[in-house]
């Protein structure tokens, strides 16, 4: 993959990440314009440690923004459902927490369908582990 405009360190990181999952970790799109995404957003306590980084296409990186993986998954499920003009992923999460189930189906990200498990999860993340 070609990564123009990146420092040698960022190119090494992208190459390491590409050795685990080809293309975007979220949608699988193979493009030369991959971004480095923080699995746990920096705004939510995520770090720049390689265990917290994933390759992402610009579209997925923008759509995920500073959402957690769960929030991003619900957002994608809503986007692909008949409720897309009525509910947001955040609203569905809040409804689920009070016992209201919205039949959205599921959403499997590309890295999950490849059998790749991120080295870091929200469950075991204690912040700043570099």
For range 74-84, the mean pLDDT:
85
H or E stretch covering 37? strand 35-38
Output the pLDDT for position 124.
46
Residue 59 has pLDDT above 90, yes or no: yes
Domain that holds residue 46: 8-113
H or E stretch covering 75? helix 69-79
Pick the residue with more confidence: 61 or 35? 61
Q: What is the pLDDT of residues 4-58, one digit of tens each?
A: 556 666 666 766 666 667 789 899 998 878 888 888 898 988 888 888 888 899 9
The Cα 100–Cα 2 span in angstroms is 46
Which pLDDT band, with edges at 50, 70 and 90, does 79 fall under? Answer: confident
Tally the domains of the chain: 1
Query: Is residue 33 included in any domain, yes or no?
Result: yes
Output the pLDDT for position 89.
84
Query: Is residue 125 included in any domain, yes or no?
Result: no
For range 66-93, the mean pLDDT:
86
Query: Is residue 36 included in any domain, yes or no?
Result: yes
Output the pLDDT for position 18.
66
E strands, 44-120, where? Answer: 53-56
Report the chain's mean pLDDT, rounded to a whole number.
79
CATH assignment of the domain containing 42? 1.10.30
Which of 92, 68, 67 lies closest to 80 in space, CA to CA? Answer: 92
Token couple for 22? 């080809």
CA 116 to chain CA centroid, Å, is: 13
């Amino acid at each position: 993959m070609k990564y123009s405009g990146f420092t040698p360190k960022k190119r090494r990181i992208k190459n390491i990440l590409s050795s685990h999952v080809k293309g975007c970790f979220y949608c699988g799109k193979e493009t030369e314009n991959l971004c480095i995404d923080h699995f746990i957003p920096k705004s939510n306590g995520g770090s720049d440690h390689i265990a917290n980084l994933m390759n992402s296409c610009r579209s997925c990186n923008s759509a995920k923004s500073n959402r957690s993986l769960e929030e991003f998954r619900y957002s994608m499920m809503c986007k692909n459902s008949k409720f897309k003009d009525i509910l947001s992923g955040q609203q569905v999460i809040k409804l689920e927490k009070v016992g209201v189930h919205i039949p959205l189906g599921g959403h499997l990200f590309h890295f999950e369908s490849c059998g790749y498990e991120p080295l870091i999860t929200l469950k075991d993340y204690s912040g700043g582990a570099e």
